[in-house]
Structure 1
Amino acid sequence: MNNPLIIGFALVAFDVVLWRCAVPQNEVARLLVRLCIYAGFSALLFSTGLSPFSQAPYPDSMPQHVLGQILEVIWWLMGARLLSLALDTLLLPKRWRRQRLFQDVFGALVFLAAVVAALGFVLELPVRGLVATSGALAIVLGLAIQSTLSDVFAGIVINTTEPYHIGDWVSIDGVEGKVVEMNWRATHLLTSQGNIMIVPNAVAAKAKITNNNRPPTLHGVTVTLEITPEARPSVVLAALERALAGVRAVIAEPAPYAIVKRTTVMSVQYEATAYVDDMGKKLAVTNELYDLCYRQLQAAGIELRPPGAPYAPSAPVQQTDARLSLLRRVEIFNALTTDELKQLAPLLTRREYDRNEKVMSPEVVPDHLTIVDSGVLSVVAEDASGPVEVTRLGPGDALGEMGLLAGMPARVTISALTRSTVYQLKKDDLTPLLKDKPDVARLMCQMLSRRQDTLDKLGTPTPVASSEQSVFQWLLDGMRKLHDLTF
């Protein structure tokens, strides 16, 4: 057991076991243990004449000489490995370690230097000639793999300047996705279609990069619309501003805005821009904003123009047709036929509300149905923590159905966020229709019962008479009593 060769190989084997088994679990502690083993290994070699800076002794025993040479070469390679690990564990920032570019490049350089040193000191090979030969070979290889080298150096620039990190949602050279990996060759993006797109670092270094995660709490949402040129721009912009005000997820600063982008012979292009504080909200807000823009423009009598469609002046809309179109957008009237809606359209009365004016108060039983024609209304309910905005209403949305159909109070406060126009239908005007169409009454109660879940969750449950009675049956009984129905 006093043979230094046996002890040296035992230390090397012990180090390999620690490396493969990852013992101890803590990375820094494991590195310190391996450094202690390397220090003991170095002390053993230098104290027994196995200096890594010269050939191994034992000239009379070829097996021992070869084993000594192997131990000296292992000393160089083990030192290179521990040096790269120490840099990786103790000095590099965590995000650089995840990207693995610097540690791979530095590790390759250190191992190359260790191999050259082992060849020169241990094996006593002519390193100068080897270096000269390897230099010529490096030139040939560099020309052969210049595109790969370009990716490597571009990766160094990207990792140094840090235009994006792993986890950021970016757009590189027209490719948009989430950064899932950054290495010495390329950046890997997970696209919205669930595919991995690999962008070479050389391409990323030259391309325009949009990082949607910077700043982290500010993300823009923009929708582009083409409008008929006969529409007055101030009217269009006012409608788009009302649409922007109707999205609850939009933050107040920076303020949302609408602008005229450009004009053509056939249309005028407008942009509506808003900001959200979470990247995950962009998709839902974009879809909601498109829908609200359509509804507000339709309420203002403005038509959207398909791109490339020839210009043709639109026919003026009759007042009765406008009211009929408004009734068709109300959910509880989906069960009515066109003739039945035509009977209700002339009965609608118009009313306007200024900004911040109260439209409906809680605990007040409305005797009419209110349908939003233009503008934005805010619906606020009370819960245990105080007032909570439940939703915002825009063109085509209705309020007061519970009072109109079943004589129930509103249970919410509704006020105008912008100057708004509404149409109202009185209870007495709806009673004859409900008496003639019992099936319509039942369908209305079914739709209305499905809309109570949100308010119930906020702590203002529907006051059903008994636990066994369903909300639908309770509403139907209330409708029969309120409108004197006999079915």
Structure 2
Amino acid sequence: MNSVLSAPWFHWALVVAIGLPVLLVLLTELQNLLNRRGSNLARPLSLVRNYILPLGALLILLIKASEVSTEATPVRIVATVFGFVILILLLSGLNATLFQGAPEGSWRKRIPSIFLDVGRVVLIALGLAMIFSYVWGANVGGLFTALGVTSIVLGLALQNSVGQIVSGLLMLFEQPFQMGDWIDAPAGRGRVVEVNWRAVHIETGDGLTITPNSVLAGASFTNLSRPAGAHRIVVETEFSGADAPDVVIDVLTRVATALPQLRTDAVPSAIPLGGNRYRTSIPLRSPAEDGAAKATFLRWLWYAARRTELHLDGAEDTFSSEDRRWDALQIVGRTLRLPPATQRSLLGNVRLIRYGADEVVQAPGTVPDSMRFVIAGMVQLRAVAPDGAHVPVRTLDIGDFIGQTTLTREPVAAHAIALDEVTMLEVGREELEDLVSGQPSLLHEIGHVIDERRRDLAEALNTTK
């Protein structure tokens, strides 16, 4: 019995028999704790528990307890597997501690994946060389010498290509743009849809432009998406020298403010440039909306300039001619039951105005100063729900009118949106007062329309609840 206790292998066997189960239990509990916390160190710890500890215990039993020679093939095989698992643990641990938990914007987060892949290959090559050198006694010095000479030869032969790749990789390390950003580069203007070690894929309006990283690294380009919330477009327009600058600026800002692409809580601005030219700056949500926002702005501005009797591009508006006004009064006369004499008296005091498709004809909360009758096109009345959504109430056709609270001086509660190009005949407040004084029944009819519109508005809002 004493001979067994004093034998050299007994102590090693006792260490393995007691230490291995205890360490397995401790590492299991620690791994469960890390899993509950979502830690990146849980995977490297599982390698230690499942592979390194058992393989290390097996090596101790083979070498110390069984006293098998380290040069024996079974020992070398186990030692090779053990060293390879240690190498995997090293790679996994570095990745978990340095890169997986890296904060956004740090240098660790910006390192391109190809740099990490190259680093892993180098570490694996060095690790395998050390395993074969120490475990199997292989001479790896000659192999490294041959690889070094080959690398020098290839580097000299491919210095231009390698230089371009390296410059592109350095640009990726800096990360001046990310996936989804909009950039304005010499190759084109568009959204970045793919970034790899060789090229950047830019989605433009004409297709997919593939630009080598080295080209972007050696050129200047603009990231339209940074800083976030700062993107805007600039539109230059020209008016007549007879147009008052303050009136022009007011029209430009009002049209820009109504754009659906306008960034939330942003305020457009307009300034005179001299020479009858004006510059309007419009903040947008995304560069993707540049084209649509500019087209809508210029289209709505054409109509708004003519409604306010401004001369966009120096053009005169002759649309509201006497013949057209008279034809429009025939429609209004049928709606309000006006005699021909009353229509003729209104001929010189009314005017025709036009609105573009999707333009706001009447905004909620405003007090109208005129009644406007639909002569051509269609206008949709919309209620504004508590969540900000627009709910259709009714569609106005030829002969219908808005601004029925002109005489009562009450603010309107509904949106009025032009569904297509709309022509309207505008009758001012003073002319309405004269009509009402001569036709008391007309005031009753207008009051009836006000009550009817209120009921329609309430019913539309109740359907959204």
TM-score of the aligned structures, taking structure 1 as reference length: 0.53
Q: Secondary structure at the match of 1:244?
A: helix
User: Bigger shift: 91-100 or 31-40?
Assistant: 91-100
Q: Quick check: 1:236–1:302 contact (8 Å CA) kept in 2?
A: no
1:271 equivalent in structure 2: 279
Q: Of 372, 378, 381, which aligns to 1:369? A: 372
Q: Of 188, 197, 204, which aligns to 2:216? A: 204
* Cα displacement (A) at 1:220: 1.0
CA deviation vs aligned residue, 1:363-421 (integer Å, no higher than 9, x gap): 999983279xxxxxxx9977658x9999xxxxxxx9953749xx9x974289xxxxxxx
2:90 maps to amino acid: L
Structure 1 CA distance for aligned equivalents of residues 191 and 98 of structure 2: 27
CA deviation vs aligned residue, 1:169-209 (integer Å, no higher than 9, x gap): 334444344444444333344x2559654433322322334
Q: Of 134, 146, 149, which aligns to 1:133? A: 146
Does residue 424 (structure 1) correspond to residue 436 (structure 2)? The answer is no
Alignment of 1:57-456 (within 5 A): 57-58=71-72, 65=73, 69-92=76-99, 93=102, 96=109, 100-146=113-159, 149-150=162-163, 152-189=165-202, 191=203, 193=205, 197-225=209-237, 227=238, 234=245, 237=249, 239-247=251-259, 249-250=262-263, 255-260=268-273, 270-276=278-284, 285-299=293-307, 300-304=309-313, 320-321=320-321, 346-349=347-350, 368-369=371-372, 400-401=401-402, 403=404, 411-412=412-413, 423-424=426-427
1:20 equivalent in structure 2: none
1:30 maps to amino acid: R
1:13 equivalent in structure 2: none
Q: Quick check: 2:372–2:402 contact (8 Å CA) kept in 1?
A: yes
Gaps of 5+ in 1: 1-23, 59-64, 305-312, 333-341, 352-358, 372-378, 391-397, 415-421, 431-444, 462-487
* Cα displacement (A) at 1:91: 1.8
CA deviation vs aligned residue, 1:2-54 (integer Å, no higher than 9, x gap): xxxxxxxxxxxxxxxxxxxxxx997643332113334222453466349xxxx
Q: Of 29, 38, 44, which aligns to 2:58? A: 44
Q: Quick check: 2:233–2:290 contact (8 Å CA) kept in 1?
A: yes
1:222 maps to amino acid: V
CA deviation vs aligned residue, 1:295-341 (integer Å, no higher than 9, x gap): 3344444344xxxxxxxx86x6558549959x99xxx9xxxxxxxxx
* Cα displacement (A) at 1:106: 1.9
Q: Quick check: 2:320–2:351 contact (8 Å CA) kept in 1?
A: no
Alignment CA distance shift 1:245-1:116 (3 Å): same
Structure 2 CA distance for aligned equivalents of residues 366 and 223 of structure 1: 31
Structure 1 CA distance for aligned equivalents of residues 400 and 258 of structure 2: 16
Alignment CA distance shift 1:46-1:170 (3 Å): farther
Q: Secondary structure at the match of 1:274?
A: strand
Q: Secondary structure at the match of 1:223?
A: strand
Q: Secondary structure at the match of 1:57?
A: coil
Structure 1 CA distance for aligned equivalents of residues 458 and 231 of structure 2: 31
* Cα displacement (A) at 1:134: 1.2
Structure number, greater radius of gyration:
2
Q: Quick check: 1:224–1:270 contact (8 Å CA) kept in 2?
A: yes
Alignment CA distance shift 1:81-1:216 (3 Å): same
Alignment CA distance shift 1:360-1:237 (3 Å): closer
Structure 1 CA distance for aligned equivalents of residues 346 and 125 of structure 2: 86
* Cα displacement (A) at 1:424: 2.1
Q: Quick check: 1:366–1:403 contact (8 Å CA) kept in 2?
A: no
* Cα displacement (A) at 1:110: 1.0
Alignment CA distance shift 1:320-1:168 (3 Å): closer
Q: Percent identity?
A: 20
Q: Secondary structure at the match of 1:273?
A: strand
CA deviation vs aligned residue, 1:405-463 (integer Å, no higher than 9, x gap): xx9x974289xxxxxxx942667999xxxxxxxxxxxxxx9xxx9xx9998655599xx
Q: Quick check: 2:243–2:311 contact (8 Å CA) kept in 1?
A: no
Structure 2 CA distance for aligned equivalents of residues 222 and 322 of structure 1: 38
Q: Secondary structure at the match of 1:216?
A: coil
Structure 1 CA distance for aligned equivalents of residues 218 and 462 of structure 2: 56
Alignment CA distance shift 1:82-1:403 (3 Å): same
Gaps of 5+ in 2: 1-34, 333-342, 353-361, 375-380, 392-398, 416-424, 436-448
Q: Quick check: 1:297–1:303 contact (8 Å CA) kept in 2?
A: yes
2:427 maps to amino acid: Q
Alignment CA distance shift 1:132-1:382 (3 Å): closer
Structure 2 CA distance for aligned equivalents of residues 399 and 302 of structure 1: 30
Q: Secondary structure at the match of 1:48?
A: helix
Q: Quick check: 1:384–1:459 contact (8 Å CA) kept in 2?
A: no
Structure 1 CA distance for aligned equivalents of residues 128 and 367 of structure 2: 88
Structure 1 CA distance for aligned equivalents of residues 364 and 188 of structure 2: 51
Aligned Cα root-mean-square deviation (Å) = 5.8
1:57 maps to amino acid: E
Structure 1 CA distance for aligned equivalents of residues 216 and 346 of structure 2: 60
1:356 equivalent in structure 2: none
